[in-house]
Homo-oligomer: A and B are copies of this chain.
Amino acid sequence: MHPFEFPLELPPRGSRQRLHALHAQLRAAILDGRLAAGLRLPATRELATALGLSRNTVVAAYERLLSEGYLEARQGAGNFVAALGTPRPSAPAADGTDRRLAAPWRGIAPPPPPTPATVPCDFRLGSPDARPFPFDVWRRLSMRAWRAASRAAPVYGAPQGQPALREAIAHHVAFARAVACGPDDVIVTRGAQQAFDLLARVLVTPGRTVVAVEEPGYPPLREAFAAAGAKLVGVPVDAEGLVVERLPAQARVIYVTPSHQFPLGVTLSPRRRAALLAFAQAHGATVIEDDYDSEFRYGERPLDALQTLDRAGTVCYVGTFSKCLFPALRLGYAVAPAWLAPALARARRLADGYGDPAAQETLAAFIAEGHLARHVRRMRRVYAQRRERLLEALDRHGRGRLEVWPSSAGLHLAARLPRGVRACELVAQAAAQGIHLEALGGYALGRPAPNGLAFGFGRVEEATIDEAVRRIARLLG
């Protein structure tokens, strides 16, 4: 085998890199199978002559390969490519169904790249309007936090979050949501999703724990619990919220959006609240109260958080700044009962160590200086107007055909469609007219979802609402 059948590209004569290059290229050829196991390599003198190298360089490269186990010397016969350490290239599983993955993780396609919304009329759910956010204030507070960080002694952070932010959150939820808590009950998370994920870790025994979720409901919560091995059971929702009487007796975790059901928008009635707490206590179940957008309330007298009524430590309250500020902050929190908080903190430590101190200090200052309350007050007026326009338009154009679920909070409304109208087809037809809508069917776990549409008004332009609803109604015939 002389000359080599594979190209060797060596640096110019005199370079000290020639040994390195020869070694690396021989090794690469052995590793990718171009030089197969058992093959005899040319004698050092022979190869040196062929490549115009000094013999010492070739000897040194062979010795390195011998010491690394890529070559084997056989007494009197020369140097051979070793079988050990020569994995043949195996094509990666193109469909992701590699058996090295645990079963639930096989066959997953890469996520599509996120695309900014470009539709003229965007009723998507879960997106607040970030444009009025006081970025200038945020930048100033962020600068201050980084300056403080650069002066402080370096220290690994606490998994529960920076003390200043836990204090600020405790004040915020006590004031805004009547949630009874102190800083020690607060665990700062990366959005509500991390709170759900940490709860799934510590509450679910894989294959055993029954978790009751609202049907229709919030898919990312369900996915986090399913990934943790939970047995998910969908429980229907009616105009009074979760139908508590339909909870399976085995349920040990109950996920609920009492202030503003996702996606129907209804409020869990006082009677159901009491029954839910009674169920949880009787069965030793834990209630996860997701209060994702209830800072924005439009009713007369808002209901307090479910957590407010809980005297038995059954409720873990989860809040987020994704809706009242904006999602890219990646900050949320759990208010956990005393038996649960240490496990959540430990789960957080294993999950990702601890939160970003500078971002947390920035938010703590933002809350403490009143910017959060001011922004919420301001946005409440903005959203209230959009909601009013949407309700008027639904009444004007859709009466009898687009029946709105009762709702008193949040950033979206849902409306029932007449029997026989297919929500998915309507969504596609609306998209063709530049209107982004969501069908309720996308939020169902198993049983058929109510036939209807959800209208997010977090980022829709107020001026476009009436015309968009008129067009949607016209599509209904």
Q: Is A156's beta carbon under 8 Å from chain B? A: yes
Do the beta carbons of B278 and A87 come within 8 Å of each other? yes
| Contact between chains at B459 and A343 (CB < 8 Å) | no
B102→A205 contact, CB < 8 A? yes
Q: Are A127 and B100 in contact (CB under 8 A)?
A: no
Nearest B residue to A205 via CB reads B102
Across the interface, A339 reaches (CB within 8 A) one of B100, B138, B314, namely: B100
Cβ distance A127 to chain B, nearest Cβ, rounded Å: 6
CB-based contact A330/B312 at 8 Å = no
Question: Chain B's nearest CB lies how many Å from the CB of A344?
Answer: 9
Number of interface residues of A (CB under 8 A): 129
Asked whether A388 is an interface residue with its Cβ less than 8 Å from the other chain, the reply is: no
**Interface: A27 (CB within 8 A):** yes
A271 and B154 within 8 A (CB): no
**Are A111 and B350 interface neighbours, CB within 8 A?**
no
Contact call A284/B99, Cβ cutoff below 8 A: yes
- Within the complex, the shortest CB–CB distance from A393 to chain B, in Å, comes to 24
- The answer on a CB contact under 8 Å between A286 and B100 is yes
| A301 surroundings in chain B (CB, below 8 A) | 20
Contact with B along A154-183 (1 / 0, CB 8 A): 111111100100000000000000000000
B328 touches A356 (CB 8 A): yes
Q: Are B142 and A135 in contact (CB under 8 A)?
A: no
Q: Quick check: is A194 within 8 A (CB to CB) of the other chain?
A: yes
What residues on B are CB-neighbors of A110 within 8 Å? Answer: 184, 341-342, 345
Whether A147 pairs with B160 at a CB distance below 8 angstroms is no
**Are A206 and B229 neighbours in the complex by a CB distance under 8 Å?**
yes
Q: Say yes or no: A281-B87 contact (C-beta < 8 A), given A100-B286, A101-B343.
A: yes
Do A100 and B284 contact each other (CB < 8 Å), given the known contacts A84-B274, A341-B110? yes
Query: Given A101-B203, A342-B96, A146–B135 Cβ distance below 8 Å?
Result: yes
Task: Give the complex CA separation of A381 and B24 in angstroms.
Answer: 28
Interface stretch of the complex, out of A220-228, A435-443, A463-471: A220-228
Q: List 28 A-B contacts (CB under 8 A).
A: A64-B270, A68-B270, A68-B273, A82-B274, A84-B275, A85-B274, A85-B277, A85-B278, A86-B278, A87-B311, A87-B312, A88-B312, A100-B284, A101-B202, A105-B201, A110-B345, A111-B159, A116-B152, A116-B154, A117-B155, A130-B154, A135-B147, A135-B150, A157-B328, A224-B350, A224-B351, A330-B352, A351-B352
